Structure 1
Amino acid sequence: MDPLPDPAPRTTRIPLIPTIIVALAVLVMIGLGIWQIDRRVEKAAALNLAASNPGKPPVAFPAMPPVGPDLLFRPSSLHCLRVVGWQVEAGRAADGSTGYRHIAQCATGAEGPGALVAVGVTQRPDAKPDWTGGQIAGWISEEPDHRALISRIGGKATPLRPMLIARTAPTGMKASAPPSAADVPNNHLAYAVQWFFFAAIAIVIYILALRRRNAPKAP
């Protein structure tokens, strides 16, 4: 009896369209990672500039975001016509103690975006600040960042609104800690690593999917 011929070697079939889609997605993620590394360098330079701003002359309080590095932490002042709301965030006082920072939402005119003022720090989140508005001086900062992580690592986050950190606090409150460049995180390297990780995971998942697709069927 003649021996059976050897079976033809099984060829690996790679679908064209899905492969192109995955390759483009991986390239986009790698590109975003490289962009975040570039942003890290830019952010470091901006923070170095901002670190020297508290000692510079006062400037007008910016009405709209974003707050550029030339304005961040600069001395400024504004006139709060009336307080239309309050928000409470964890914060640190000028004496180093921690507590709850009370941020006033101020009307500054008949129209317009208004202004945010970090009035002071208390030990209780339900404290009622004894402040209804008026002229107030301090340093330019930004509102607390509650933006979604995916919007930040993708570079599509809405700019943070300017906020004045009051130099002095009303009776019964502690003054907020002055702004510092050390308190501003530079997370762009972490964002870059996340994009590179997503790209690697996409490649691994696609390779596993191809292996499963081309695996010999059980008889």
Structure 2
Amino acid sequence: MRRILLPLIFGLLGTAVLASLGVWQLQRLAWKESVLSEIEAAIGADPVPLPDIPDPERDRYLPVWATGHMTGPTLRVLVSQKEKGAGYRLITPFESGDRRVLIDRGFLPVDRPVPETPTREVTVIGNLLWPDEVDGYTPEPDRDQGLWFARDLPALAAELGTEPLLIVLRDETFDDAGVSPLPVSSAGIPNDHLGYAVQWFGMALIWLVMTGILIYRNLRPRDDPREDPRKGTSAGAKKGETT
């Protein structure tokens, strides 16, 4: 009985633990999908005037509009786009009244020259964003060439003399000579909970199958070590007959 009971207990406990982790990941999946839906709704809401004192938490992804003109040098941030290849995000200062902020104008293929900065008054529509793209592997910017490798908002603002505030354009409200807006979206937010759930459920199934195999092997009758496998008679009987 011990050969069956112990493997059964450990098998059921292990399967239950692994399956519960799979259920937890499904719950996390539902939560993450709800969060992503809220983010998409916030991103696509009607734009409001640029807030006087924006808050990085409260106003993250806030759709805004502002009227003014671009001024100063443009910095390039190296990026890559599917089906488009390597290119740059163009970051340019934008003056609106007494405010001076940053505008992410969008994507420019790497083989195209940076176009002239529009000088006329324009109305821009976009979303506020505080990017989190800098880590220990991010190279230092090449300031002489105006080339950056991440949207390091405080450093970009210091370099261009603006508020540490970035508006990422979402609509083409003016002609920008081949620059395509790269609007804010939830596409870059990871949501791997379904894959994790499948892994946990798969491990639970494997654990259960292995438990069944072990119990099956324990239930099989064991060969008598005295049996002669060649003739099906016991070694003791064979010895007696010879004597």
Q: TM-score with structure 1 length normalisation?
A: 0.46
Q: TM-score with structure 2 length normalisation?
A: 0.43
Flag the structure with larger Rg: 2
